[in-house]
């Protein structure tokens, strides 16, 4: 599609949306990290304040212990002085001469005083030793508290530094994402403008864009089978545009197309190219048919799932449902009969079969088994290519009756298999003229 395509614009929309999601996640992570860092800072500040208070208490206890030592030393000096006086008095008493009767002087009082003074000195010494021991403990406590204060201050500084670094890193990361969002938004606006200009001059591209962006809820009426049939039967030009859209939007589809393109380029002669074409008709055409249905039905619901598994029986067997549309925005009528309509908010399940008439008939048993995976939906059917009309009337009736009884009636809404094949082959050979 010229210089800009619908897919390129949608890729840019996805990019901006993803970047915005990244920013939201990053912002949430930053808030959490900052909260943790702030909590650590608060804990560090509390610890620093607590340690400072404990140091002040230790200093006061050391000062009190020092005073106790001073008091004990004074008490020892006083008791020692009293002992000296008592000893002097005892010595003076003992030096007195005997009386006339030859009796020694009575010095019992002085002797008792000396004994009491000696006991007082011993007690004072014990009290001093205890006071000094308590001072040693108080000094050790004060030193420990000083070390604790230093460590607490270091921890506080580290916590504050970590908080600052966290804030800087978060702001830097957010700024980088903001710049990317701004650049992506600018590219998106430019691309959207170029696309609008292109659509204004290209009716086919405009019609395809309208097909992609269809809003079934706009008129508020139920979606009927004729509407669905028209949406699935794109013109050859519209199918080409869908191929280009898928190539630009779906990496898996692009990989598959590129594989067949490479095989086509290196193929030698018609025989090898026929082999490539046959593989493309089997694999790429089937995928393209499912993509037609997917994009035709996607606007109907809030969500569309592919290849959902449903287990059948107790032996571990399961079937894969090609498409499940949930959260319908409008009522949808697939056809007549039970299970062919779904309300707003309801769901639909589809099996998609693209093939020629005999292939469709040969898949009867397999499609009946696959119908088991549709029963959880409000409406269900097997969508097939219009090749179903090429079956003999009796076979067509047999096939339709069997699938209706299985609960997934067959509806031939898709283009014929040859048309889908041709679209895929044209797309893988789009640059054939450019090859040497």
Q: Is the dihedral of CA 278, 280, 283, 288 positive or negative?
A: negative
Angle CA 193–197–198, to nearest 5? 115
378: left (phi over 0), alpha (psi -120 to 50) or beta: alpha
- 403 CB-contact burial (10 Å; exposed 0-12 / middle 13-18 / buried 19+): buried
User: CA–CA separation, 389 vs 360, rounded Å?
Assistant: 11
Q: Is there a contact between 23 and 181 (Cβ–Cβ < 8 Å)? A: yes
> Could you tell me which residues come within 8 angstroms of residue 42 by beta carbon, excluding any fewer than 6 positions away?
none
Q: Give the residue from 318, 309, 399 showing the smallest Cα distance to 349.
A: 309
264, 276 Cβ separation under 8 angstroms: yes
Helices (H) and strands (E) in the chain, counts: 12, 7
Q: How far apart are CA 218 and CA 382, in angstroms?
A: 27
- 3-state SS, residue 320: strand
Check: CB of residue 205 under 8 Å from CB of residue 199. yes
The 10 Å Cβ neighbour count of residue 268 is 7
User: 332-333 and 341-342: which strand pairing?
Assistant: antiparallel
pLDDT at residue number 96: 87
315: exposed, middle or buried (Cβ count in 10 Å: 0-12, 13-18, 19+): exposed
Rounded Cα distance, 153 and 267, in Å:
76
pLDDT value for 340: 79
Residue 431: per-residue pLDDT: 60
Q: What local confidence, expressed as pLDDT, does residue 376 receive?
A: 77
What the block records as the tokens of 44 is 């560090």
Count of residues for the chain?
A: 436
Distance of alpha carbon 401 from alpha carbon 352, whole angstroms? 18
From first CA to last CA, the distance across the chain in angstroms is 24
Summarised one tens digit per residue, pLDDT across range 419-430 is: 999 999 999 987
pLDDT > 70: percent of the chain: 94
Q: What is the pLDDT of residues 88-102, one digit of tens each?
A: 998 988 888 877 777
In the structure encoding, which two tokens stand for residue 293, read together?
A: 């249905």
The residues, ordered by sequence, that sit 6+ positions from 85 with a Cβ below 8 Å of its Cβ are: 117
Query: From first to last of its 436 residues, what are the pLDDT tens digits of the chain?
Result: 345 788 889 999 999 999 999 999 999 999 999 999 999 999 999 999 999 999 999 999 999 999 999 999 999 999 999 999 999 998 988 888 877 777 888 888 989 999 999 999 999 999 999 999 999 999 999 999 999 999 999 999 999 999 999 999 999 999 999 999 999 999 999 999 999 998 999 999 999 999 999 999 887 789 999 999 999 999 999 999 999 999 999 999 999 999 999 999 999 999 999 999 999 998 999 999 999 999 999 999 878 887 555 544 444 454 677 888 899 999 998 877 776 788 999 988 888 988 999 999 998 888 888 777 667 788 888 899 999 999 999 999 999 989 888 888 888 889 999 999 999 999 998 765 443 3
DSSP, collapsed to helix, strand or coil, labels residue 384 as: strand
Contact 355/388 with Cβ under 8 angstroms? Answer: no
CA gap 228, 296 in Å, rounded: 7
Would you list the DSSP string of 240-262?
HHHHHHHHHH-HHHHHHHHHHHH
| Tens of pLDDT, residues 370-419 | 777 667 788 888 899 999 999 999 999 999 989 888 888 888 889 999 99
pLDDT at 221: 87
Question: Cβ contacts of residue 252 below 8 Å, gap of 6+?
Answer: none
Please state, in angstroms and rounded to a whole number, the distance separating the CA atoms of residues 430 and 243.
11
CATH class of the structural domain 6-97+106-198: mainly alpha
Contact 310, 318 (CB under 8 A): yes
- Contact criterion met (CB below 8 Å) for 328 and 343: yes
How many CB atoms sit inside 10 A of residue 28's CB? 10
| Encoded tokens for 112 | 């008792």
- In DSSP terms, which residues pair with 319 in a beta bridge? 310
Q: Give residue 349's pLDDT.
A: 87
> Degrees (nearest 5) of the Cα angle 415, 387, 277?
70
* pLDDT value for 336: 76
Dihedral of CA 323/326/328/334: which sign? Answer: positive
Q: Where in the chain is the domain with CATH 1.10.287.1490?
A: 6-97+106-198
In whole angstroms, what is the distance from residue 298 CA to residue 324 CA? Answer: 10
Q: HSE of 390 in the Cβ direction (CA atoms, 13 Å)?
A: 15
**pTM reported for the whole predicted model:** 0.71
């Amino acid at each position: 599609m010229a210089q800009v395509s619908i897919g390129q614009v949608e890729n840019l929309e996805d990019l901006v949306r993803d970047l915005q999601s990244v920013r939201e996640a990053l912002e949430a992570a930053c808030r959490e990290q900052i909260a943790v860092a702030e909590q650590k800072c608060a804990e560090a500040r509390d610890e620093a304040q607590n340690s400072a208070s404990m140091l002040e208490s230790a200093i006061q206890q050391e000062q009190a212990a020092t005073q106790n030592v001073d008091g004990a030393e004074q008490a020892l000096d006083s008791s020692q002085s009293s002992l000296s006086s008592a000893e002097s008095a005892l010595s003076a008493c003992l030096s007195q001469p005997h009386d006339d009767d030859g009796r020694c002087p009575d010095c019992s009082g002085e002797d008792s005083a000396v004994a009491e003074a000696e006991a007082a000195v011993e007690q004072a010494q014990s009290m001093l030793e205890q006071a000094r021991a308590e001072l040693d403990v108080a000094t050790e406590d004060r030193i420990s508290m000083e070390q604790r204060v230093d460590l607490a201050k270091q921890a506080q500084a580290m916590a504050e530094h970590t908080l600052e670094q966290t804030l800087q890193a978060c702001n830097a990361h957010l700024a980088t994402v903001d710049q990317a969002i701004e650049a992506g938004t600018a590219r998106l606006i430019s691309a959207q403008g170029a696309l609008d200009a292109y659509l204004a001059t290209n009716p086919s591209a405009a019609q395809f864009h309208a097909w992609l962006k269809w809003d079934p809820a706009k008129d508020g009426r139920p979606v009927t089978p004729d509407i669905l049939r028209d949406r699935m039967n794109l013109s050859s030009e519209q199918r080409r545009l869908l191929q280009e859209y898928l190539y630009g939007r779906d990496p898996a589809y692009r990989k598959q197309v590129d594989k067949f393109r490479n095989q086509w380029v290196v193929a030698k002669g018609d025989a090898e190219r026929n082999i490539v074409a046959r593989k493309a008709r089997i694999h790429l055409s089937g995928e393209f048919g499912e993509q037609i249905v997917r994009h035709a039905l996607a606007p109907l619901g809030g969500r569309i799932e592919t290849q959902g598994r449903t287990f059948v029986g107790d032996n571990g067997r399961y079937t894969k449902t090609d498409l499940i549309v949930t959260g319908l925005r409008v009522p949808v009528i697939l056809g007549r009969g039970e299970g062919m309509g779904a309300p707003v908010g309801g769901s639909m399940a589809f099996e998609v079969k693209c093939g020629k008439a005999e292939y469709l008939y040969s898949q009867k048993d397999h499609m009946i088994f696959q119908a088991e995976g549709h029963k959880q939906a409000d409406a269900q059917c097997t969508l097939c290519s219009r090749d179903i009309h090429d079956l003999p009337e009796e076979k067509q009736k047999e096939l339709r009756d069997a699938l209706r009884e299985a609960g997934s009636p067959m509806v031939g809404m898709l283009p014929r298999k040859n048309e889908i094949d041709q679209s895929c082959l044209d797309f893988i050979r789009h640059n054939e003229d450019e090859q040497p």
